[in-house]
């Protein structure tokens, strides 16, 4: 994949701007994404698309992810497709000696990825990029249960209208969204939104985190629709654990 396309995908994902409008229903729904713009062709023709149902898992000696989240959320934006928390520079993950900087995290309800056929009420995507623009996404599944303290701080200033952006006064560290046990699944995939760029490293946490029914409903009431792309074909991709 050309580096320029990877960098373009990173910019699109971080800034939430696309060259052609898309959505989750009607003529702009996921099944039409590939026809909306020539830059979105991978949404229909790609062979390594996300999300997937993580199944037929292959045992592997995966290296631990080193989480270095020392900075905090800078602002939170409603881009019409999700609520996205932009992250101050200086936080990263390291995997096999390779570093990816945390750029932003955002949410989907219900979950986009499934694990052994199970869908979750909410999923967070923590989006990272290395110096070349290659992307790594840490995905966290949420189960309905007790309220999540980090999400409570985020939702205090949740932007209720598309296009709204708020500076965050509450101190929110992305590490508080992660499960205590950092075991994960790994596969190669794509962005789950146009332009559906492939070459994205997916790191899906095995263990879920609790979120309350009210917190899920707060997000749903702001976005006004489900914002999950349907499951895509795994094809020949291995899913490692």
E strand or H helix at 76, and its extent?
strand 73-78
Exactly one of 37, 81, 106, 224 is catalytic; name it: 81
Secondary structure of 78-123 as H, E, C letters: ECCCCEEEEECCCCEEEECCEEEEEEEEEEECCCCCEECCECCCEE
> With left for phi above 0 and alpha for psi between -120 and 50, is residue 208 left, alpha or beta?
beta
Phi, psi of 107 (to 5 degrees): -130, 155
Q: Structure tokens of 39?
A: 């830059």
Long-range interactions of 125-128: CB distance < 8 A, separation 24+: 125/192, 126/102, 126/174, 126/177, 127/13, 127/14, 127/102, 127/103, 128/92, 128/93, 128/100, 128/101, 128/102, 128/103
CA 56 to chain centre: 22
For 240, half-sphere exposure in the C-beta direction (CA atoms, 13 angstrom radius) is 11
Phi, psi of 135 (to 5 degrees): -105, 145
Structural contact between residues 154 and 15, judged by C-beta atoms closer than 8 angstroms: no
Active site residue 224: no
List, by residue number, the catalytic residues.
81
């Amino acid at each position: 994949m050309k580096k320029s396309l990877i960098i373009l995908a990173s910019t699109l994902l971080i800034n939430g701007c696309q060259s052609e409008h898309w959505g989750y229903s009607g003529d702009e729904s996921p099944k039409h994404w590939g026809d909306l713009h020539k830059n979105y062709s991978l949404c229909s023709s790609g062979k390594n698309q996300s999300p997937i149902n993580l199944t037929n898992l292959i045992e592997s000696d995966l290296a631990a992810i080193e989480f270095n989240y020392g900075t905090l959320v800078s602002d939170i934006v409603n881009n019409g497709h999700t609520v996205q928390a932009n992250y101050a520079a200086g936080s990263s993950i390291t995997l096999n000696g390779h570093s990816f900087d945390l750029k932003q995290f955002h949410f989907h309800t219900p979950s986009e990825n499934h694990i052994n056929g199970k869908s979750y009420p909410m999923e967070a995507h923590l989006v990272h990029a290395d110096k070349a623009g290659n992307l790594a996404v840490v995905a966290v599944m949420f189960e309905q249960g007790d309220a999540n303290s980090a999400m409570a701080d985020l939702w205090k200033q949740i932007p209720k209208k598309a296009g709204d952006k708020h500076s965050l006064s509450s101190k929110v560290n992305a590490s508080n969204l992660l499960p205590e046990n950092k075991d994960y699944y790994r596969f190669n995939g794509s962005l789950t939104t146009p332009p559906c760029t492939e070459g994205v490293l997916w790191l899906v946490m095995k263990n879920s985190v609790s979120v309350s029914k009210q917190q899920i409903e707060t997000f749903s009431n702001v976005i006004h629709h489900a914002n999950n792309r349907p499951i895509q074909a795994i094809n020949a991709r291995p899913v490692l654990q």
